[in-house]
Amino acid sequence: MTVLKIATRKSPLALWQTEFVASQLREAHPGIEIELVPLSTRGDEVLDRSLAAIGGKGLFLKELEVAMQRGDANLAVHSLKDVPMELEEGFTLPAILKREDSADAFVSNLYDDVASLPVGAVVGTSSLRRQSQLRALRPDLVIRDLRGNVNTRLGKLDAGEYDAIILAVAGLKRLGFDARIRSRLDAPVWLPAPAQGAIAIECFAGDAFAIEMASVLDDASTRQRVEAERAMNRALHGSCHVPVSAIASYGGDYLSLIGAVGNVATGDSLRAEAHVLRTDVNAADTLGKTVAAMLLDQGAGALIAETLQD
């Protein structure tokens, strides 16, 4: 029997996503045996500092990539928003699954939405993107870092450490916490992280077997949209160090993209929007670069440099 080994982080959400991918692979390839290879990453272990301070979201991938290089695993499953814009040399993403809800969620035990929070309320999030958008809406709030998996973050809210926290809708839904969502933070007023809500499968580029197995799960429309968002982020040299947000969508024959770069200190932001024919061969890359250029023309370069210096 053919065995496919999938490397995964150990958090409940990562395991849910990997089990979901495994079920899809079993359905696509009857008779295949799936073995999970749970691993701990530096991004999971260091929780007393922000991701930006310890090296970025790529810290969630390194150990999984090493496992694939050693032959201990054929595939790795990631939240695509955690995957750096440039993969390590020798790796590829043969499949991006159909996207789940891309929005953020306002979660609180006492308040219904951001507007109803009292002056000085404490909101938890370590995301610079979320912090900058909160600052724009409510400069009077106290924003504090919040690391850990979804369960840990909800536990800290329930313990009274925060009046509210901001999490991804997709993660809450996948773990069965739909009822914890008090209100949605939706586009175009509030923008998500590039590729938020999408699951990606990564594999070693030289593993033809893994690529063949995984590629059947690729969703073309999701890939085009998230690639536009990632192309914009890449052109801006964005990372978790920079409050960049983006969302691509379809409208008739067109692929549209709204992108923004924020300022954590002031809440100020620069926005741009453009669209291209979705049938264009290079639609995603062209659109992402176009919106990035529009943002840079507005002064995004200086804003990003300022953020990186802080």
Residues acting as catalytic residues: 82
SS3 of residue 57 by DSSP = helix
Cα 58 from Cα 91, distance rounded (Å):
13
Tell me how far apart the terminal alpha carbons of the chain are, to the nearest angstrom.
Answer: 54
Contact 58, 41 (CB under 8 A): no
- DSSP H helices, the chain, are 12-28, 42-45, 51-54, 62-70, 128-137, 150-158, 169-174, 208-215, 220-235, 283-297, 300-309
Contact 203, 214 (CB under 8 A): yes
Q: Which backbone phi and psi does 103 adopt, to 5 degrees?
A: -75, 165
SS3 of residue 296 by DSSP = helix
